[in-house]
Structure 1
């Protein structure tokens, strides 16, 4: 039976009772903490979960509580990707430390806003202090609308990120100092945050030696522009974890459509342009990341481009002896009909 939002909020508050706020960590090389989990609807999947011992508890319907053991940290960001053969989208509700562990709550919905059970892939990362030597660029924001508050932010060169609302549910995110040649380089992931069903996507972004400028668009469950808290992470020649190498096994790709320029298609083992996509024009995309089948790993997907469409995975990703294979990425319009739409996909190993 569908729970009212009021009942849901009570359940969320109850679940988070006793979760303490940790003191800010000392300056350290990034990341301070991270974790990811693959939930197949009934159990965690070890090949997509790190650290070992991560747990997921469901309830109320469509709401899940994740515990990442030993990963308590201040702030950070969460990204979530729904996994289902139908139109589903998942978001973060709240996260924070509880003792030595990090607790993350996830909510999954369908078009129209009904909370529904779903499999998902979720990712948490928190960074602070100097980055130390890394091979690329990395940054994130956790920004809350309508309060206009930057809850947390990180920039691997030490600059200060900013968010400017441009209209209802539309935001300009600046990550200064994350320099690339341009005009479009790297990859992004965006996730809505809150207890009201919502979703966010990357409308577009530009890259330059001065830094990155991304435009995030957020929508309610009916596809109308919506003011919400959201997270955004940028990676260039760098893991979504934000760490230097290791981890040595990660890759990302932009399906525009068609596939974006080589500077938006990176494989840490083979360089730019090595990841492949089949199925353009069909609304289903098979993505292969060669030589990245080092487990455990996580895959995250974010819709990209104009409109209010959203994307998920039909099934959990698989592995050949050498490659990570995502079959398939599916995208939908606000009514739940499958469409051929753009997306950003990122594969990241813990190794």
Structure 2
């Protein structure tokens, strides 16, 4: 199918949703349609970022644009999807060296949504590096076993929250730079789904990750850990998204092409397929595999779902200060999506580290 035809089909679906309203949940295919969503690969400090890796729920015509701020700071404008408050944002640095990006804030400007992003090298020096970004807002229930939930913690309280079971999301601080998140009503008997975490801080370097994950029949308990510019635990804000058999955007119509995986045996040279199967979901009924590309470097292949335009997000897992980013821009060929590579660091040293990654196409 040509890219033009895919764009036209996606926009027809969006138009139909907008015309019919966003509150209908009469069938599972219509449940929890996100009110708004958008993603981009930001490879410039000014202008229009890569058109092959940006898409959103806006109608044809406008594009994502970027304007520069201070050193290492950029403002991403998502057209026509602005909301007064709420929603969730994730970013992942794309760099050949030890860097990360964090969200500073997001807000409505006219009809648009603007996200301020700041990137740093290890130690806290501000610097621009390309990054991936995804913004979404969802409402409405989702029938189990599918699930979708997010929490924005502003450093003191929950500022934005969604749960597809229409149950509470709870956050309990348990130490400096450590919180327990309880996503109630979307439980499971074992690990299933995918988690993404991003630091939110307007003024100081901060990076956040998944510290631990303990599913139970009544919900998902997830530990969030955050650190400062080096390896010191830090109280800061953060965003967390949990998605199960749903894309990171939360969408119910398109995409048909999305996948996620959890590299829970990072020393396995592979290629290996992570287990249990519930942490290695592929919307086309295929599989995802992982193999080494060197110490700390992991090649992830999402089979049968690689369709432009698309987005990848990555989050480190574990109790220490490690963090992960993307080494380069992924590529697609023959409906295969090749993430070459995910790289994880302790300080500036690559090391084998568990991580979660998620892929979504606009189609």
The answer to whether residue 193 in structure 2 is matched with residue 186 in structure 1 is yes
Match of 1:95 in 2: 106
Show the counterpart of 2:310: 297
Q: How many residue pairs get matched?
A: 320
Q: Contact 1:91–1:193 at 8 Å: present in 2 too?
A: yes
1:83-134 Cα offsets, whole Å, 9 max, x none, are 0100110000000111111000100001110100100001111123x23558
Question: Which blocks of at least 5 consecutive residues in structure 2 are unaligned?
Answer: 1-20, 25-31, 57-61, 267-273
Residues of 2 paired with 1:343 and 1:83: CA distance? 15
1:143-194 C-alpha deviation (Å, 9 max, x unpaired): 122xx21101000010010100000000100001113231x11110000001
Give the one of 112, 130, 141 matched to 1:131. Answer: 141
Unaligned segments of structure 1, at least 5 residues: 1-24
Give the aligned partner of residue 59 of structure 1: 69
In structure 2, the CA distance between the partners of 1:166 and 1:45, relative to structure 1 (3 Å rule), is: same
- What is the aligned counterpart of 1:215 among 220, 223, 226? 223
Aligned to 2:8: none
Q: Does the 8 Å contact 2:288/2:302 carry over to 1?
A: yes
SS at match of 1:231: strand
Deviation readout 1:184-213 (Å, 9 max, x if unpaired): 111100000012111000012122321111
Residue matched to 2:255: 247
C-alpha RMSD over aligned residues:
1.8
Q: Given that residues 100 and 121 in structure 2 are in contact (C-alpha distance below 8 angstroms), is that contact kept between their aligned partners in structure 1? A: yes
TM-score, L = length of structure 2: 0.84
Any conservation in 2 of the 1:256–1:305 contact (CA below 8 Å)?
no
Question: Which residue in 1 is equivalent to 2:165?
Answer: 157
Among 29, 35, 46, the residue aligned to 2:38: 35
Which of the residues 251, 261, 270 maps onto 2:276?
Answer: 261
User: Which residue does the alignment assign to 2:54?
Assistant: 49
CA contact 1:253–1:260 (8 Å) conserved in 2: no
User: Partner residue of 2:358?
Assistant: 346
Residue equivalent to 1:142: 152
Per the TM alignment, residue 247 of structure 1 is displaced from its structure 2 partner at its CA by 1.7
